[in-house]
């Protein structure tokens, strides 16, 4: 009974159409409903899913490949497994069932692969979730075009080598590099703007190791037959492979892209494998003259039979290819005597393999099992055509899925590794060799661990020894410089403040521990920084300065500028400082608050009425008043020379330098005035003016009635009086 794949996997992936199928797996277009992205899901074919060893390795290795994150490697997002549904589920209308699982039917009599029957329905079938790509495989591109342009061939090869350099660095060897496993993406706007060919992605990491462990011999249908054209000589011999094996396969692919045909071809995979072991390829320029000698040298170096004669890393290969594309010749290293012997040995191995294949009905010996596959009535053929430069269409390889993890065996039990072995003696020998290797490896690890432990104990003791340094001298240097000096010695610093009469504010006074003391490196030293003297004297030159200036000077000294109040002052302009509180010249504690006394630009008018003229003028020109005087006279009942009226009332605040008008009595009308002494020059001048007016008044007494308009005179503060302010 056929099995079906559920339409929804892991309650997340919704499967759609089949977009690819091969001997190893079937690929479905799908949607990740959780993230809303298009993906491709590769489902293992049922005949492989039936094998527990294959399932376990498929799962483990797929998870390992998921760690590879490179722009030239197809990304693996997730892995899982499912139980296939019966065919009846679809017939009963079960919406969870989708297309039937492809089952590989026996093609030849005695073929060990069988379709999954109903009794195996409970087996878990593993799958891999990958990124969905849009493009065409390099295999399809070569089938369509034959040879590629030199630029495209070099670009694709360089991208493949970039991917392999990354995977080799992470311990992953592909083991099945071939055109079918290289996807050429659609050319996007970025490629066009940069003038570069399409980008490529290397596919199918992670399955070849499992296939190698469980598959039948080299010529087995749907196993490694399709890759024979691209395998390295060591793969054909069944030897252990390494990163240089992948580089050989890249050389074959590059050869085919340049020449339009692979370096070796034959009707069976055994024949092709023998050519890889024994024959030297012709240079690509033999089939395509425009291929340069430099490119010939690079390709032939990659196709050396002995690994030591090839490029030793993907980076070396890429560097040589890049130089060759610019016309720089990279010579292939000459084969040593050992290499020549290896080539001869390879020829013998190939001949023996071909003879054995003939004796066993076309089957090649299986080096992993120590025996041969079942008899077959005919040799397996290579079944897919490729297009050569001349238009011929020989056969191409069959597409498959592949990959390799060198350390995969370490994860499996002996039962898992050997349950499918056909030759128990070979298995026993392998187990003994493995045991000896493990014992030697364990001894080496033990010695290394003991050496590492001893080194750790020694260096931990040495490194834990305290290191002592001297505390540097930092007295009377700035705080920043002192901290830098201490930290340069490997010391930590904490800062405290203190007063000092001799060290300016902001400079270092001392350290604790004191300078010259030896202390452990990375210990803490206290740095004492001066805040200036403990007591400060308020300057005496603040009068007449601006408020902002006085505040800044106080703060520089270490004092706090406090609140302000205003007072009258005869000469200091409004807003300017008159005094401080405490007063200027007094001593205060460092950090004390000093309030400011500001001028309001006004003075208080003194009481003038009742004073004599000279007394009134003296009061107005006093150093604490400094007001101008204007004198008017008139007859009154008050004694002559007495101030009987003033223009601004006593204690009224007027602006600095204002003029105050005083009215001086001339006595009753008709009386004769006598001059009174003048206390000041200004007063004398006023008196002389008044006398002159009086004389004039007396001369015209007959014409001017008493009580006519009063006479006026003025007096201003003398310069000496102004300076006193």
What 3-state DSSP class applies to 363? coil
Q: How distant, in Å, are the alpha carbons of 21, 84, 124, 182, 374 from that of 50?
A: 18, 12, 8, 28, 20
Active site residues: 176
Q: How distant, in Å, are the alpha carbons of 65, 284, 326, 560, 622 from that of 333?
A: 34, 18, 20, 86, 116
Residue 217, C-beta contacts closer than 8 angstroms, at least 6 positions apart: 363, 364, 365, 366, 369, 372, 373
Phi-psi region of 238 (alpha: psi -120 to 50; beta: other; left: phi over 0): left
DSSP string, 406-417: TTGGGGS-HHHH
- Phi and psi, residue 205, nearest 5°: -75, 140
DSSP 33: T
How far from each other are the two terminal CA atoms of the chain, in whole angstroms?
A: 124
Measured from the Cβ of residue 5, the count of other Cβ atoms closer than 10 Å reads 23
Measured from the Cβ of residue 49, the count of other Cβ atoms closer than 10 Å reads 25
Contact of 95 with 43, CB cutoff 8 Å? no
Q: Is 42 annotated as a binding residue?
A: yes
Dihedral of the alpha carbons of 373, 374, 378, 380, in degrees to the nearest 10: -40
R_g over Cα of the chain = 55
What 3-state DSSP class applies to 589? strand
Residue 350, token pair as written in the block: 């190939």
Measured from the Cβ of residue 107, the count of other Cβ atoms closer than 10 Å reads 11
Q: How distant, in Å, are the alpha carbons of 79, 164, 169, 173, 403 from that of 68?
A: 14, 11, 10, 12, 12
Burial zone of 7 (CB within 10 Å; 0-12 exposed, 13-18 middle, 19+ buried): middle
Give the full edge-to-edge strand order of the sheet including 200-202: 135-137, 182-185, 200-202
Integer Cα distance of 143 and 155 in angstroms: 19
Contact of 671 with 628, CB cutoff 8 Å? no
- H-helix or E-strand containing 315? helix 314-325
Residue 96, C-beta contacts closer than 8 angstroms, at least 6 positions apart: 6, 7, 8, 85, 89
HEC sequence for 232-299: CHHHHCCCCCCHHHHHHHHHHHHHHHHHCCCCCCCCCHHHHHHHHHHCCCCCHHHCCCCCCHHHHHHH
Residue whose C-alpha is closest to residue 21's, from 5, 7, 37: 5
What 3-state DSSP class applies to 230? helix
Integer Cα distance of 654 and 336 in angstroms: 118
Q: What is the crossing angle of helices 314-325 and 150-169, to 10°?
A: 160
Contact of 166 with 68, CB cutoff 8 Å? yes
Residue with tokens 């159409």: 17
Burial 468-482 (b: 16+ CB within 10 A, else e): ebebbebeebebeeb
Integer Cα distance of 529 and 634 in angstroms: 75
- H-helix or E-strand containing 128? strand 125-131
Beta-strand ranges (E) seen in 375-517 are 384-385, 395-396, 468-470, 492-498, 508-512
Binding residues for ATP: 42
Binding residues: 42
């Amino acid at each position: 009974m056929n099995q079906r794949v559920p339409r929804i996997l892991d309650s997340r992936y919704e499967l759609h159409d089949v977009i690819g199928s091969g001997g190893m797996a079937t690929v479905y277009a799908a949607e990740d409903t959780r993230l809303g992205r298009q993906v491709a899901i590769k489902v293992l074919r049922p005949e492989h899913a039936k094998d527990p060893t294959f399932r376990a390795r498929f799962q483990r290795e797929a998870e390992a490949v998921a760690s590879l994150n490179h722009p030239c490697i197809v990304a693996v997002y997730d892995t899982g497994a499912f139980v296939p549904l019966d065919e009846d589920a679809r017939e009963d209308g079960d919406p969870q069932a989708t297309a039937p699982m492809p089952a590989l039917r026996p093609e030849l009599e005695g073929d060990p692969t069988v379709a999954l029957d109903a009794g195996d329905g409970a087996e878990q079938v593993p799958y891999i979730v990958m990124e969905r790509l849009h493009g065409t495989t390099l295999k399809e591109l070569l089938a369509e075009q034959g040879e590629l342009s030199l630029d495209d061939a070099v670009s694709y090869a360089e991208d493949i080598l970039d991917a392999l350099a990354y995977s080799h660095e992470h311990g992953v060897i592909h083991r099945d590099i071939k055109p079918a496993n290289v996807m050429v993406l659609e050319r996007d706007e970025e490629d066009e703007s940069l003038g570069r060919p399409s980008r490529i992605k290397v596919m199918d990491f992670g399955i070849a190791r499992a296939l190698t462990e469980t598959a039948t011999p080299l010529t087995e249908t749907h196993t490694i037959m399709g890759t024979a054209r691209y395998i390295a000589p060591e793969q054909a011999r069944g030897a252990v492979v390494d990163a240089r094996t992948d580089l050989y396969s890249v050389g074959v692919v590059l050869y085919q892209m340049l020449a339009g045909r692979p370096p070796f071809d034959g009707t069976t995979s055994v024949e092709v494998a023998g050519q890889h072991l024994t024959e030297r390829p012709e240079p690509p320029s033999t089939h395509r003259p425009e291929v340069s000698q430099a490119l010939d040298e690079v390709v032939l170096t990659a196709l050396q039979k002995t690994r030591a004669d090839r490029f030793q890393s993907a980076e070396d290969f890429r560097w040589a290819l890049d130089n060759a594309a610019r016309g720089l010749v990279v010579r292939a290293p000459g084969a040593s005597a050992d290499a020549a012997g290896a080539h001869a040995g390879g020829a013998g191995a190939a001949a023996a393999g071909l003879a054995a294949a003939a004796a066993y009905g076309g089957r090649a010996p299986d080096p992993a099992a120590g025996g041969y596959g079942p008899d077959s009535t005919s040799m397996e053929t290579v079944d897919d055509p490729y297009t050569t430069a001349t238009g011929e269409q020989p056969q191409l390889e069959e597409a498959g899925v592949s990959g390799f993890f060198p350390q995969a065996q370490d994860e499996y039990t002996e039962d898992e590794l050997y349950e499918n072995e056909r030759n128990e003696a070979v298995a026993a020998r392998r187990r003994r060799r493995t045991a000896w290797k493990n014992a030697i490896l364990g001894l080496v690890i033990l010695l290394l661990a003991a050496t590492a432990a001893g080194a750790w104990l020694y260096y931990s003791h040495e490194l834990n020894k305290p290191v002592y340094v001297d505390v540097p001298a930092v007295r009377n240097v700035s705080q920043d410089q002192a901290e830098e000096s201490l930290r340069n010695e490997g010391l930590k610093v904490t800062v405290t403040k203190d007063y000092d009469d001799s060290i300016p504010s902001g400079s270092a006074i001392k350290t604790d521990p004191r300078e010259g003391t030896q202390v452990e490196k990375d210990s803490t030293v206290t740095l004492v920084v001066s805040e200036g003297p403990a007591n400060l004297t308020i300057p005496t030159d603040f009068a007449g300065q601006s408020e902002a200036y006085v505040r800044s000077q106080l703060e520089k000294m270490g004092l706090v500028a406090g609140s302000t109040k205003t007072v009258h002052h005869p000469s200091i302009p409004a807003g300017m400082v008159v005094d401080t509180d405490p007063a200027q010249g007094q001593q205060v504690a460092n950090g004390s608050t000093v309030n400011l006394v500001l001028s309001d630009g006004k003075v208080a008018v003194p009481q003038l009425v009742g004073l004599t003229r000279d007394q009134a003028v003296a009061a107005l020109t006093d150093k604490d008043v400094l007001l101008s005087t204007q004198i008017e006279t008139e007859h009154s009942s008050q004694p002559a020379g007495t101030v009987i009226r003033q223009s601004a009332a006593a204690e009224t605040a007027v602006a600095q330098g204002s003029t105050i008008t005083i009215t001086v009595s001339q006595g009753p009308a008709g009386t004769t005035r006598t001059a009174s002494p003048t206390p000041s020059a200004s007063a004398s001048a006023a008196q002389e003016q008044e006398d002159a007016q009086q004389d004039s008044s007396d001369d015209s007494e007959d014409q001017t009635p008493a009580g006519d308009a009063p006479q006026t005179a003025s007096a201003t503060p003398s310069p000496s009086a102004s300076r006193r302010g």
